[in-house]
Each structure stands twice: as C-alpha cells, then as structure tokens.
Amino acid sequence: EKFWKGLPDDMKAHVTQALKEATAFEREETAKEEEHILSELKKYAGESKKLEIIELNADQKGKWAEAMKPIYPNFYNVIGQDLVEKTINTK
C-alpha cells in the first residue's frame, strides 16, 4: 500500500490499465481452456460410458446457487467474507 501511494497518478493509471488488460486476457484464456477441457471430458464420457456430464440450465443454476447460500458463511473465517462475496459475484 505504501508503494502504491508513492506512485505518481499517471503511473497508477498505467498500472491499473495493464492490470485490467491482463485480467481480461486471463479470463479469455481460461474460458478457452475450460471449453477445451469440457470438450475432452464429453469425448471421454461418450467413448468410455464411465462418466456422465450433466449441464444445468439457467433455472437449475439459479436453484443450485440458492441452495449453496447457507454454506458460504462457513468460509468467512477461512478466506474472509469480502473474498467470498467477490467470488460469488464474479461472472
């Protein structure tokens, strides 16, 4: 924090912009990797018959999220309520 406060405003702006770009890039790459992994899992499931992949629709995802709400407080003391809530609200 001391280091950050010591930076000139223009440098803070550049660092902030770089972080936004890096975050966007990382999310895009992660989405691609997740898509690839899911494709491989589906292929394996179809070939082996040892795995069933169930994809939830929007209504089911909503019900799942609602059912999970009572569990979140269990993690407040572990990683902090703020981080739990940020994770929940990340899309």
The stretch 45-65 carries a mean pLDDT of 95
Instruction: Give the pLDDT confidence of 5-32 residue by residue, as tens digits.
Output: 999 999 999 999 999 999 999 999 999 9
**CA–CA gap between residue 86 and residue 65 (Å, rounded):** 14
Mean pLDDT of the chain: 95
Residues near 7 by beta carbon (within 8 Å), at least 6 away in sequence = 15
Residue 39 has pLDDT above 70, yes or no: yes
Confidence of residue 91 (pLDDT cuts 50, 70, 90): low
pTM: 0.62
